[in-house]
Chains A and B, each alone.
Chain A
Amino acid sequence: MPFLELQALRKQYAGTPLLDSITLTLEQGELACLLGPSGSGKTTLLRLIAGLETPEAGRILLAGEDITPLPAHRRGIGLMFQDYALFPHQSVAQNIAYGLEVQGLRGAALRARVAEMLELVGLQDFAKRDVLSLSGGERQRVALARSLAPRPRLLLLDEPLGALDRTLRERLLDELRAILRRVQVTAITVTHDQEEAFALADHIFILHGGRIMQHGAPEELYRQPAHPWVARFLGLNNLYPATVVSDDPPEVTSPLGRLRLSLSLPSPGTRGWLLILPWGVHLTAAGPDTLTALCETRRYQGGHYRLRLRTDAAELEALVLGVQPPALGERVHCVFDPAALRWLPDVPDLS
């Protein structure tokens, strides 16, 4: 039995569906992430799970119990808000103690738990501080400590690092993951940032237009995106309309010409998409099977170059290691690693 199970959840707002038949399961102790652009419905889904919104249809099961009719305060699900929602009239310690006091915890036990939480997030000396005097990173930690203090069965984090600047984010990302692992909580993070998603979660659900487009481990998503939209969302832009020419040997034709893949294909004549992962584009000397292109832009990304190439019919992105990158405007020749070629079925584009 899965720990959390969402069954065909649906939510509308003013007639337009925000979420359409969302079904997913989560195992205990898993760190999951809802990843999607703004407007994809990910925050709404989080609020449905927390009990802050009610679904029009579907059920939410937590540890086998149907919690759909339960109000937020009786679900035992913690939520860390995007901009933290700390109580401005309470000190750091009072904020962290709030959920425990509601549970009826008093005296030494309460103080011990608050101290434990302060230590967990490294804010031992901040107990008496006014939350308004804290920096963004400190507020984030107080919010985390507050939501973890009552030992929620499930922790939800809404863009946990979204309000912080980039350098701080990098640093807190590892810390946050370490804390979540240490307390062994089951957690769902919502974010629009791939890096954040990949750093925080073992399992990612990609949301778009109120639907789950694909889910899996980060590596799986990169290795085999299921839709052209997912590929583009993940920054995989070498995507070309293609038609299967033969299924043995597996070959397709596309604006880049006729290419052989190293995976099985549907029957000849099927239309779909060819994806070339950027590490599979190799620059080489001119030869019979090479493709000629112009180097249009070149960006150094520390250790490798990201090139944008243009052939007669298409644009192409390539990651090139090494010391001798082509100059801008230089004519280059490239071949594709068959292992980096993917076949994506044609689906109605949702963008």
Chain B
Amino acid sequence: MRGQAHRSLGRELLFLPPLLFLLLAYFYPLLRMLQVSAQWGALTWPAHLGRLIGFTAGQALLSTLLTLLLGLPGAAAFARYEFPGRRWLGLLTGVPFVLPTVVVAAAFNAVLGPRSPLNALLLTLGLPTLDLRYSLAAILMAHVFYNLTLVIRIVGTFWAGLDERLVEAARTLGASPLRAWVTVTLPLLLPALGAAALLTFIFCFTSFGVVLILGGPRFATLEVEIYRQTVQYLNLAAAAVLALIQLGFTLALTLIYTRLQGRLTRPLDLRQAEGLRRHPRRGEALALYAYLTLLLAGIGLPLLTLVLRSLAEGGQYYLALFENPRRSLFYVPPVTAVRNSLSLGLATTALALLLGLPAALALRQHQRGWLFDALLMLPLGTSAVTLGLGYLLSWNRPPLDLRGSPVLLGMAHTLVALPFVVRALLPALNAIRPALHEAAATLGAPPGRVFWDVDLPLSWRALLVGALFAFTISLGEFSATALLTRPDWPTIPIAIYRFLGLPGAANYGQAMAMATLLIAVCVLVFIVSEGLRPPESTPL
């Protein structure tokens, strides 16, 4: 009965700018990639395609299994138990997920490398040191570090809502705790487990920075191979074919994930999570605290090592960021990278808001909005390296030869950030009851004024969160940037990558220093946006 009475033309026009952007920044490059891939037959084929796909899928599968195994106790801990520091530890588990891949790779580089805390211990004991970098184990560890929060949050939230009486019913029917868990809890958790596993798999399948930096030359996922074919061998046709193969995989997986998520949102008599948590019993407490200690160490150790390494030598690595000792043509002082990243971040934020706000406003309570929504989300299922390659292939001819121009970077970053901005805005806008708009209208406010008086004051938090998302995504973006940027126009992640590849303690220390700075910004943004989450308010 509630009306779509004033579906005006003006509202439909809001779709136009984001659609136009998608066309230029997403569909056209993909189309060009499709064209270019048609030429691959005449060119050299990357060796061992089968092995490449096998490794990509295999490491993703292993990473996913490990993440599930280590995350499941965490989901139980946060869903079912009350313990001191629960809130803060919960927040901490979310931190790795918001860190740029380069930073995570740098942190694991520090914690696994020859000068790690472990090796320091081994040295004092007179034992031979270990270098765990450039191994499958390193890749897996970084992937678990990254995605653990997905399992803990997705499964944990679902678990917290499960009706504990179902388990109690099984117990009164004679099931042991283990049997009750396997026969009741686990089957009910399956959709959440499936969703978390799929998401983790997709992220690991398209992993780039971690594999490139931590895996070294021996290992390559499809994503890394696309980059190498493009940048090292200049075999764009082969890169395009690989990108299309990968795109096929990720789109199929994303489709399955969306279906699963639909099942997730169908409530299974979910109850209020608060109040169901209890303090661990004596037997459980030991296991709980052992797990939490492990979790804290697993997340804290790499980051802490990174920060400590950056602070070595009395902070001179930070000072060195402002110098330019080599004065070579292709070497620019790190502070330039910071400046580049900041200006790119601001441009991305502005553009993503400019496009995301109309998109979210148009999508709000729109009946056929799901199609446009799906279009907006498509870039999420497309890897950034693929996007970068697409740009190289499409914006490379006069009058629009944009190769090497920061414009392409801004475009790529905005495309990656846009879905997040829309996702941040849409729930806030949808939470504004239509009656408030109608009330303003019956009091004489024209539509434009309703936006300023009602929508903006009620959604500014979400707008700010969206802006922060866009800014940090741009700040940490590595994959597309690695393909698109000119050597003399590095961003912070590019500079970190280069420093890590150069010999010498000074370069290494500067990589650590820049990574630490990035972590600080990301953690700050993370905390602010968590704090900006709207409080539960009584609906008016």
List the interface of chain A (C-beta within 8 A of B).
13, 18, 43-44, 47, 50-54, 71-79, 81, 83-89, 98-99, 102-103, 131-132, 139, 146-147, 150, 152
Contact = CB atoms under 8 A, between A and B. Distances in A.
B537 A88 contact: yes
B5 interface: yes
Contacts of A147: 442-443
Contact of B439 (A53, A75, A76, A81): A81
A124 to B, nearest CB: 22
Interface string B226-246: 000000000000000000000
B442 A73 contact: yes
Nearest to A11: B3
Q: Which 4 A-B pairs have the closest CB atoms?
A: A99-B443, A85-B435, A72-B441, A85-B439
A99 B1 contact: no
A77 B444 CA distance: 9
B443 A102 contact: yes
Contacts of A81: 435, 438-439
A71 B442 contact: no
A43 B435 CA distance: 13
Interface string B518-540: 00000000000000000001111
A76 B443 CA distance: 7
Given A13-B1, A43-B1, A53-B3, A132 B442 contact: no
B458 A88 contact: yes
A193 B540 CA distance: 23
Contacts of B6: 52, 54, 71
Contacts of A84: 540
Contacts of B449: 102
Contact of A87 (B439, B442, B446): B439
A78 B540 contact: no
Nearest to A41: B1
Contacts of A53: 3, 5
A85 B436 CA distance: 5
Contacts of A139: 540
Given A43-B1, A102-B444, A132 B435 contact: no
Nearest to B440: A98
A88 B453 CA distance: 11
Given A79-B442, A88-B540, 10 more contacts: A73-B440, A73-B447, A78-B443, A81-B439, A85-B435, A86-B540, A89-B457, A99-B444, A102-B444, A132-B540
A78 B439 CA distance: 9
B433 interface: yes
B439 A73 contact: no
Contacts of A85: 433, 435-436, 438-439, 540
B454 interface: yes
Interface in B394-441: 433, 435-436, 438-441
A274 to B, nearest CB: 37
Contact of B1 (A18, A76, A146): A18
